[in-house]
Structure formats: structure tokens, C-alpha cells
């Protein structure tokens, strides 16, 4: 599990940098300032939560593998896909119905961080 989330995190970090550069250099003249702001929000949350995945992998190495950490990791991956992914597609296509998916990703992020907290609260290795 430690390697799984560290790998996911590093891959998603690299992807977030590429997606951010794509938006800044190629999309800006095509989609307008408002849509670019939505896109940048997706990139911002993508990066933060990819770092969170790396943190979860490192934490698993310190306190051990737990069900809470596994849930935390997969919820952050799901949140990136749902939250950031929906904002990317919304900003590029203008299809507003995709905005209904974004809050599901936000809920996944919140649940993931709460699972991360739960892993600490249940661990005997953290004082």
C-alpha cells in the first residue's frame, strides 16, 4: 500500500503539472478568463491531493497499513478524478451539467482526509 499511493501520488503530481502547463499556455486564449479560473481551481486541488497521496504512502510506512489509510488514498484518487476532472471538462467544453459531479469529488476529498485522521487516531504508533 505504501508504494501504491506513493506511485499514484507522483504520477498524479506529474500529470497536474502537465495539465496546468497545458491550460496556461494553450487553453488561455481559447476558453477565456472565467473558464481558465475554473480550470486552475481543478489544477490546484489536483496538486494538493496528489501530494496528499504521497503523504498517505509515507504515513503507511511509519504507522503501518490500515483500512483507514487505504480508504483515505482511494478517496483522494476518486476526488481528483471527480472534482478536478469535472472542472477540466467543464472549463473546456462549457457543459454546465458537469458541475453537478464536482461536489461528489469534494465529498470524496473530505472523506479521504477524515479517513486519514482516523488512521492516526486508531494507530498505536502515534503518540
- Consecutive H or E run containing 32: helix 28-63
Return the pLDDT at 28: 82
First to last CA, the chain: 23
Q: How confident is the model at residue 25 (pLDDT cuts 50, 70, 90)?
A: confident
The pTM score is: 0.93
26-83 pLDDT per residue, tens? 888 899 899 999 999 999 999 999 999 999 999 999 999 999 999 999 999 999 999 9
Distance of CA 52 to CAs 2, 10, 59, 72, 125, Å?
Answer: 13, 10, 10, 9, 20
Q: Per-domain residue ranges for the chain?
A: 2-122
Residue 91 near residue 35, CB atoms below 8 Å? yes
In three-state secondary structure terms, 126 is coil
With CA atoms as reference, report the closest residue to 12 among 111, 78, 66, 90: 78
Amino acid at each position: 500500500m505504501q508504494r501504491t499511493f506513493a506511485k499514484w501520488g507522483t504520477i498524479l503530481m506529474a500529470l497536474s503539472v502537465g495539465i496546468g502547463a497545458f491550460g496556461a499556455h494553450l487553453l488561455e486564449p481559447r476558453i477565456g478568463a472565467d473558464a481558465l479560473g475554473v480550470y486552475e481551481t481543478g489544477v490546484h486541488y489536483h496538486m494538493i491531493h496528489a501530494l496528499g497521496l504521497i503523504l498517505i504512502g509515507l504515513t503507511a510506512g511509519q504507522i503501518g497499513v490500515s483500512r483507514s489509510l487505504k480508504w483515505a488514498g482511494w478517496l483522494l484518487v476518486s476526488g481528483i478524478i471527480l472534482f478536478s476532472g469535472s472542472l477540466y471538462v467543464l472549463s473546456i467544453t462549457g457543459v454546465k451539467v458537469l458541475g453537478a459531479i464536482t461536489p461528489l469529488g469534494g465529498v470524496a476529498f473530505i472523506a479521504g482526509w477524515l479517513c486519514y485522521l482516523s488512521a492516526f487516531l486508531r494507530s498505536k504508533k502515534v503518540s
